Structure 1
């Protein structure tokens, strides 16, 4: 063991990373595939190895020996024997239960059709007996009357069974076939419509290949994790060009739908007549259709069915792309459980879900197939260098009594809407006068007042789609230098020239949101980008900010905490 090594592995399967050790950056990158960051104070970051993190690693081809080797080479002290044994046992569970096809029927043309039933098989009598005794699984599984260690299940229960078995601690290796869908001759264009050559980056190609695989059992579904600004849309289009089939693309809002359509027309040989938009405004279904999650989850009454779920069956889709899969709405999980015969890819900057449903993404969309550290892409120049700064400001005296008597949730909002933040915002806008700046917040009242104070345009959920497109267009052209945006701009919005983001309020301690907001300013550019978070010091907002910083630490970003001095109008570095 080397006393200068950065990792301390503990018996409870937590890992301490000494950020000042010589190999700390190497260790951070090495941990990403199989460990999750929990805490990120100044000197020691805490990671944890979990069953789901190990199963994601196993599905990506990692073995227990490889993980043990990584830990051994980076550990300051001997790795506890119990931890290595637990890693071996946990990873061995992946693949102990397999899902395979029943004998396929013959179609009228003599071709093999997809089977109506599947088999859930295991070589272990103990696992077989555990599943046979499960009241939950009894609804879906029929033991083989021939006495083999396997169960029969209907194809429609394919996703639900995988979901339930993951909860029981048995990740299923799905080797059942996927249908090809209706063919569509689609190829990437040699050049964009602007005439600029289209170059697929090495990591984009590797991500697409990791998803498509050899088209054999166990391939064709999964999740790709890449930073905002790294070209996840290009990865999706590369997958489309490899599979050449009718494709349904689901994304977060109408602006993102329009961006996808624009990218498809810019970078593929698709004709406009091949692409449909399915939103609240327009409902056309074409060989490639781009829809919003919102329209799919709309229903006339609380207990009514979801009328637009029919979109999933409108055409013989051969591929479904879940953009920003970490935001997949709960009702859509119901449909994705049924659509297990369709190839599918989830695109995201972070698999963190605030509802804890990462396991559902693993089961229903697919395991993580490709991931790359943000700082690696920054080092290669594919995303911008970002300087992250938290600025702490004192609570406005007029709010002190109100804050003192408020409950926890009210305290957070009072601290978030602290009027004293305005001076900091003005100072930052002045310092970055020539840059394209986003001021991002959670509370509409706060943002509307701020927009009026600054004389800046504002985009919220209430802004009509046509007006949003006009404002975004003016911002891209440089006609607008400062734009105030609510959380609608967190997701899938391409603002390539934005180089400064000022976060004034957020969704409590959401790491997911932190990733999305940082991503708004990561398009490659000649100068560094700046990500500021203004926080009311010595308040509950400061506590939640510590959780949000976990994401920055996990990706290797250094962030400084500085203090705003109102009297001097200066930012004093180094104090909290």
Structure 2
């Protein structure tokens, strides 16, 4: 027992962290490695330790002894009976099952169980596998043979059953592609990897380059694209890069041409507009999963087999659609790098990312990079706004999603936005929202340009470029700007509505303003919500991931006609 500890650990492996405790910051940083934040009321933050959070911790080198030592030092009343045993069991399962090649039989793999004291476990687990008959067989109580083509599916199945697989079956090199980083960028600035970027690539590559699957977690603005380029440079092979939209495709191509010696003719864009398959090909998840009718196949999914790729990079890996998971299960012999700001998926498929792309290999707390000057310092503020009476009457009578939308489209928000623009005059400001009617209204009132999903790609590019160059100080954007849009001088984001309680979206939107500012100034993130409504409840959930990273939201209550 530690009567001064910051945490209360409960038997179901939830952890209550006292917000006003002097050890709060240290405890939060420690918990972030092996627990996830699920609630953040005024006095106690609630974390949850799960098998998946412990497996990710184990993949980054955490042992059960270390986790238990940290929890014990933080736990005010000690660890409940059975909690330590559960934590040790889940962490110890990481690495009990190893997948290895079979010498002389390239079409076969062997799963080995090397745990202690559970005789017959492999047989019991194998009896629950949902894999085609004839693709696997038990050879003894500790070994299972399977077809190499079922490598990904076996890993998915075992993770589902609670047994993560340590994949040591190796990777093929793919076709060689030699290139190097430039020492100097086109504008004359020297270029070199930041220390954490080099650490991330080393963690992914493993010892003697025997690694090759897993996820690197870094904040937006911290240079995840450069980590991808560095992985390509490390392995010197033809690479397929998948990302979230065409704007991101072109940003990757720009980074490749400006930072590496790859010639332009070696880099292809595979999108709705172009179908270039080159030694380095950059495509979108949307084009690969496009089909005219539901009963048709995904004709562009063949891109996975168009060349002898040695590496596939999944940008914004938390967005992977289900068909891409299925295709990835078939190509487990190809190295796979996932890049993301957060492993959170609102659909609950984090375990599939773990199984098929790989475990977390590297992450850095956002606040650590902020303190080092690699991302901007940010002030976060939630502004709670009353609703006009007619709007409030509609809200009271509505149900479900309609209730949320009425609150989100509160017309009093427009005046708050206007005041914030006055406050930050001279800065580059993004107004971000979910609902097109609302965005069109505010863009019209403020006479600012608007980018939505229906904006032609050429027009999007023109507006983004004008914003980057300072010609447009304010830009309104829909969710198309949530991901992979490089706007380095954006320093203020005003969020007027969002996708319900999406923690992922909140993190991505904050990421739009995280690049360090040329003047060294701070960034400002405002989220405007209707007070005492479903929108306010969802806002608390949206903020969870950022709270876990060390950000705090100052709350300001605002009535129409007051000062923001």
Question: Do both proteins adopt the same fold according to a TM-score greater than 0.5, normalized to the shorter chain?
Answer: yes
Superimposed CA distance per residue, residues 268-306 of structure 1 (whole angstroms, 9 cap, x where no aligned partner): 111111110000001111111100111000012111110
1:464 aligns with 2:456: yes
Which residue of structure 1 lines up, in the alignment, with residue 59 of structure 2? 59
Q: Which residue of 133, 137, 140 maps to 1:143?
A: 137
Deviation at 1:72, TM superposition (A): 2.2
Distance 2:54 2:338 in 1: 19
Distance 2:256 2:72 in 1: 46
Which residue of structure 1 lines up, in the alignment, with residue 107 of structure 2? 116
1:183 aligns to what SS in structure 2?
coil
175-184 vs 401-410, which moves further: 401-410
Which residue of structure 2 lines up, in the alignment, with residue 418 of structure 1? 410
Assess, with a 3 A threshold, how the Cα gap between structure 1 residues 216 and 129 changes in structure 2: closer, same or farther.
farther
1:25 aligns to what SS in structure 2?
helix
Deviation at 1:148, TM superposition (A): 5.3
Which residue of structure 1 lines up, in the alignment, with residue 530 of structure 2? 536
1:378 aligns with 2:370: yes
Which residue of structure 1 lines up, in the alignment, with residue 97 of structure 2? 97
Aligned positions of 1:379-394 closer than 5 A: 379-394=371-386
414-423 vs 508-517, which moves further: 414-423
Which residue of structure 1 lines up, in the alignment, with residue 400 of structure 2? 408
Which residue of structure 2 lines up, in the alignment, with residue 227 of structure 1? 219
Distance 1:125 1:5 in 2: 40
Q: Which residue of 553, 556, 559 maps to 2:553?
A: 559
Q: Which residue of 505, 518, 529 maps to 2:497?
A: 505
Which residue of structure 2 lines up, in the alignment, with residue 342 of structure 1? 334
Distance 1:246 1:504 in 2: 42
Aligned positions of 1:139-538 closer than 5 A: 139=133, 142-145=136-139, 147=140, 149-215=142-208, 219-525=211-517, 526-538=520-532
Kept in 2, the 8 Å contact 1:140–1:157? The answer is: no
Kept in 2, the 8 Å contact 1:4–1:22? The answer is: no
1:128 aligns with 2:122: yes
1:549 aligns with 2:540: no
Kept in 1, the 8 Å contact 2:382–2:526? The answer is: yes
What TM-score comes out, normalization by structure 2 length? 0.97
Distance 1:424 1:398 in 2: 19
Deviation at 1:150, TM superposition (A): 1.9
Kept in 1, the 8 Å contact 2:2–2:78? The answer is: no
Structure 2 gaps of 5+ residues are none
1:570 aligns to what SS in structure 2?
coil
Structure 1 gaps of 5+ residues are 106-114, 572-576
Superimposed CA distance per residue, residues 171-190 of structure 1 (whole angstroms, 9 cap, x where no aligned partner): 11111010000011121111
Which residue of structure 2 lines up, in the alignment, with residue 111 of structure 1? none
Deviation at 1:2, TM superposition (A): 4.4
1:86 aligns to what SS in structure 2?
helix
> How large is the Cα RMSD of the aligned pairs?
1.4
Deviation at 1:132, TM superposition (A): 3.5
Deviation at 1:137, TM superposition (A): 4.2
Distance 2:461 2:133 in 1: 49
Deviation at 1:140, TM superposition (A): 6.6
Distance 1:382 1:539 in 2: 37
Deviation at 1:216, TM superposition (A): 6.0
Superimposed CA distance per residue, residues 235-283 of structure 1 (whole angstroms, 9 cap, x where no aligned partner): 1111111111001100000000010011111111111111100000011
What TM-score comes out, normalization by structure 1 length? 0.95
Which residue of structure 2 lines up, in the alignment, with residue 45 of structure 1? 45
Moved over 4 A (4+): none
Deviation at 1:104, TM superposition (A): 3.0
Distance 1:318 1:135 in 2: 30
Distance 2:481 2:207 in 1: 37
Distance 2:133 2:203 in 1: 34
